[in-house]
Amino acid sequence: MTVVASPEVRLAALWRLLSLGFTSPTTETVAEVEALAEGVLETESSRELEDVLSAVRACTVVELATNYNELFGGTVRVAPYEGSYELDPIRQGRQMADVAAFYRAFGAEPSGPAGERPDHVGCELEFLSFLELRRLTAVEASEDVELLDEITASFLTDHAGRWLPTFFAAVREAATRAALYRALASLGERTIGDEIARRSLEPTALPRRHSQHSVEADSFECGASDAAPSRVPR
């Protein structure tokens, strides 16, 4: 079981759980989602986490993969990319380049064509988890954390905080037959909402696209998939 011993570890665990939950499920990722939920629940009571734990225990990996593909694969019901919520193609490209620049600043390396785009929900949530763990390391070493706090606030204001609340709300609405994804969406809404409020941030929300559309329609010809980071260094 994952032990959650500090606020930074707790938040990092929640971001990590959400990151894994919103990527294509495997036996390993599902097991880690369960372990992380158990670990955080050891230190706090959370209806959202209890719902995640109940749902992940009730589903097989095959069932979760089917749910995932119905929601996010091919002709998507909910777009899992930040760029999909920005209608201006020029601004889409700038968004993706800026997200990738955040990753590169911390040594993330391109993962090649098999990797996700840098603006995928799983990548952005993993980066938030990484930033919390970096902050914890700095605190333990008595180092200044002001720059890390500024970077986290900037990433939330300019990227994650703009579209993830919209994404989570859309998943919660669409996942009528996918209990885990509905529970993850509720947990995500609460987690990012609490963090934005705690930091007194005011990100400009990106609107939801209501029509179903193909993921490929949001892809970039400049090889955007090659720009996605490998797992954010931990």
Summarised one tens digit per residue, pLDDT across range 124-147 is 999 999 999 999 999 999 999 999
CATH number at residue 56: 1.10.3480.10
Give the number of other Cβ atoms within 10 Å of residue 133's Cβ. Answer: 19
- pLDDT greater than 90 at residue 188: yes
Place of tokens 């993962």: 111
Asked if residue 149 is part of any domain, the answer here is: yes
Asked if residue 70 is part of any domain, the answer here is: yes
Q: Which domain holds residue 135?
A: 7-227
Burial class of residue 200 in the structure, from the number of CB atoms within 10 Å of its CB (0-12 exposed, 13-18 middle, 19+ buried): exposed
- pLDDT greater than 50 at residue 226: no
Confidence of residue 113 (pLDDT cuts 50, 70, 90): very low
Asked if residue 234 is part of any domain, the answer here is: no
Q: Output the pTM of the full model.
A: 0.87
Asked if residue 131 is part of any domain, the answer here is: yes
Asked if residue 195 is part of any domain, the answer here is: yes
Q: Mean pLDDT over residues 73-86, rounded?
A: 87
How many distinct structural domains can be found in the chain?
1
Percent of the chain at pLDDT exceeding 70? 83
Asked if residue 2 is part of any domain, the answer here is: no
